[in-house]
């Protein structure tokens, strides 16, 4: 029997534009597919233009409206171009999903300043810059969603995770403060905090990937957030696998 419980509600986002970063694979691509099935016009961002084109083609074969814009979200000039091109080609941005991220896992005494800058600039500063870029338009239209893909690493410390955890703890603080700054304008800022997800993002040695969360699980959480009634505000979603991998 076909399971319809996880299928997005078709047409719910007709006329809406969603910008997703880190969208060429994994969680970002799964989120894009989910929002596209709900009717959103998609703007996909990633650094790798080849993989981005493949993702756009993959979504297009499903009949979803998507465009790809190669950009490095750690560069303010790339962010400005990304937002401008998205709004020019697709329309005002109603949904921003900050998913782009990198990981570095090693003891703190082995971490370099260069690694610190790379992780914090990608996982935290880029969210600030991109959210700041789309916020004025959302304020003017009095509505919108900013959804930050965080992590349980923003709540739980572990050996070797100093840089990554610092970025995700900071992201949760940023998300909560942004939510307070923007809620009066009808803008909902939310965080999704998954545990280990079966992607090629982080090392999964000795873990059973079949027991891990899947990218579609995170996409379902994003879908739930954007389907809220106007009076409802899901500020944070925590996702864990039913079994420890």
Residue 160, burial from CB neighbour count under 10 angstroms (0-12, 13-18, 19+): middle
| Residue-wise pLDDT tens digits, 99-135 | 999 999 999 999 999 999 999 999 999 999 999 999 9
The pTM for the full model equals: 0.93
Q: Please pick, among 164, 165, 187, 193, the residue that the annotation labels catalytic.
A: 164
Residue 9: pLDDT band with limits 50, 70, 90? low
What digits encode the pLDDT tens for the residues 16-45?
999 999 999 999 999 999 999 999 999 999
- pLDDT of residue 5 exceeding 60: no
What is the pLDDT of the chain when averaged over all its residues? 93
Of the pLDDT bands very low, low, confident and very high (cuts 50, 70, 90), residue 208 is confident
The pLDDT score that the predictor gives to residue 11 is 75
| Close Cβ partners of 8 (under 8 Å, ≥ 6 residues apart) | 34, 35, 37, 38, 223
Reference 192, options 210, 211, 217, 167; nearest CA is 217
- Annotated catalytic residue 104: no
Q: Which CATH architecture has domain 17-199+206-239?
A: 3-Layer(aba) Sandwich (3.40)
Average pLDDT estimate for 205-210: 73
């Amino acid at each position: 029997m076909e399971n319809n419980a996880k299928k997005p509600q078709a047409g719910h986002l007709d006329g809406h534009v969603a910008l997703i970063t880190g969208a060429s694979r994994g969680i970002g691509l799964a989120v894009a597919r989910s929002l596209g099935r709900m009717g959103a016009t998609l703007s996909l961002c990633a650094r790798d233009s080849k993989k981005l084109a493949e993702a756009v083609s993959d979504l297009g074969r499903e009949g979803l409206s998507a465009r790809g814009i190669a950009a490095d979200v750690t560069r303010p000039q790339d962010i400005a171009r990304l937002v401008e091109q998205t709004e020019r080609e697709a329309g005002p941005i109603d949904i921003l999903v900050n998913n782009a991220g990198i990981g570095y896992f090693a003891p703190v005494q082995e971490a370099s300043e260069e690694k610190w800058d790379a992780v914090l600039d990608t996982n935290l500063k880029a969210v600030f810059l991109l959210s700041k870029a789309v916020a004025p338009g959302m304020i003017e239209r009095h509505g919108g969603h900013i959804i930050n893909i965080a992590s349980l690493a923003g709540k739980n410390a572990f050996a070797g995770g100093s840089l990554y955890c610092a970025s995700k703890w900071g992201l949760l603080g940023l998300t909560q403060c942004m939510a307070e700054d923007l809620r009066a304008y009808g803008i909902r800022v939310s965080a999704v905090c998954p545990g280990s997800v079966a992607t090629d993002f982080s090392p999964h040695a000795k873990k059973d990937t079949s027991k891990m969360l899947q990218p579609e699980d995170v996409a379902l959480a994003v879908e739930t957030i954007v389907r809220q009634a106007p009076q409802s505000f899901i500020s944070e979603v925590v996702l864990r696998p039913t079994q420890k991998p």
